[in-house]
Every structure is written in C-alpha cells, then in structure tokens.
Chains A and B, each alone.
Chain A
Amino acid sequence: GAGVSQTPSNKVTEKGKYVELRCDPISGHTALYWYRQSLGQGPEFLIYFQGTGAADDSGLPNDRFFAVRPEGSVSTLKIQRTERGDSAVYLCASSPSDPANYGYTFGSGTRLTVV
C-alpha cells in the first residue's frame, strides 16, 4: 500500500479482555516496528521484526504482550488480560532492511482505551 495502515484507529475494551491490533506495512518493507506512546510522552520501543522473525522484543513490558508477523508483511500486536495502564496509542512503523537513510514510515496509530 501507499502508507502504513493500522486498524482499528480506536479501540475501547474492558479490563481483563483480550485485544488485537493490526499493522499493514508499506509493500516491500522488510522491517516492522511497534511502539507505545503514552499521553504526553515520546514513543517507547516494544518490538521489531526483520521479515517473519522478531529481531528484538526487549521492549515488550511483560508476557501479556505478544506480536506476530507470520508472512513477513502484516503484523498483529496481541495484548492479553488488558489493564488500565495499557491505555495508550500503539504506533506501527515500517522501513527497508536498513532504515538509516530514510528513517521509519509510521502509521497513524491505534488509540487503546482500557476501561
């Protein structure tokens, strides 16, 4: 596609529920990144994929968070047993394998609200 697409744009869920957030990267971009942005803060790194594999998942806060990218394109961020502290904007970005020249291309994010 022309840009990075994230769905849904907004998600409200009840505490304890399971949610899935989807990211559709730019076609041909081998690297895909997930960030979490809390209100008034900068994006916080969660995980990045190179192809189908997670190259670095050191930013995932705990085992309730999991992400997959089974075919090296679309990725899903999964959050189990959601807590109110999980409320944030979840940003996805993609890049060529070496992003140094162009940086990342970001989507518009999914705003997750846990009530």
Chain B
Amino acid sequence: AQTVTQSQPEMSVQEAETVTLSCTYDTSENNYYLFWYKQPPSRQMILVIRQEAYKQQNATENRFSVNFQKAAKSFSLKISDSQLGDTAMYFCAFMKLGNNDMRFGAGTRLTVKP
C-alpha cells in the first residue's frame, strides 16, 4: 500500500514571499503520478500541479512549482509571490500508473498574511 506523509500541519507566509510545503511518500512502484490539490473553505478540491514519476523535469504552473526527488520519494510544493487567495489546505496525493484510486496525505494548512 502507498502512504503519503505531510509533516507540516500548519504553515504561514507573508504576502509576496515564497513558501515550500513538504510531502514524502512510500511506494515500491516505479511508475506513478503525484499531485498537489488546494482546498479552500468552499471545500472544493482544486488541482494545483501534477508530476509524472518518469519525467525528471520538475513541473511548473505559474507561481507553483515542485521539487521532485524520486530516489528520496519527496515531492515538495513551492509557492512564489504568495497571495492572500493562496490561503487554504494543501494536499499531496499519489496515484499508481494504471490504478485510478488516488491516495492523499493529511494536509498542510497554509495561511498567507498581509
């Protein structure tokens, strides 16, 4: 079974600064996908960024980027130029290739302070 660990229950950052959220996972698989989801108070989970394990290049989406370290089984999320609207719960998730069920970590609550 795959497990996803987010070791930071809460983080805070000043507006316009950069913050990094940590995620590690445990798997014996070689091919898989990793995701970061954002969950604002509205409860709807929103996909932030995804990474294929077979790609060495780190994924980037505007202000969001990842640091994917496959050997270390680490997948951290960097948010640059933090905005007040980034305040939310952030969940790291793992999905094995060919298996549709996605497994989530416990989440990190991020607060962006003005």
Contacts and interface: CB of A to CB of B under 8 A. Distances in A.
Interface residues of B, number: 25
Interface of B: 4, 6, 33, 35, 37, 42-47, 50, 52, 91, 93, 95, 97, 100-107
Contacts, number: 65
Contact of A100 (B4, B47, B95, B105): B95
Interface residues of A, number: 30
14 contacts: A42-B4, A42-B91, A43-B45, A44-B104, A48-B100, A48-B101, A56-B100, A95-B100, A99-B100, A100-B52, A100-B95, A100-B97, A103-B35, A103-B47
A89 interface: yes
Contacts of A23: none
Given A43-B91, A99-B95, A50 B100 contact: yes
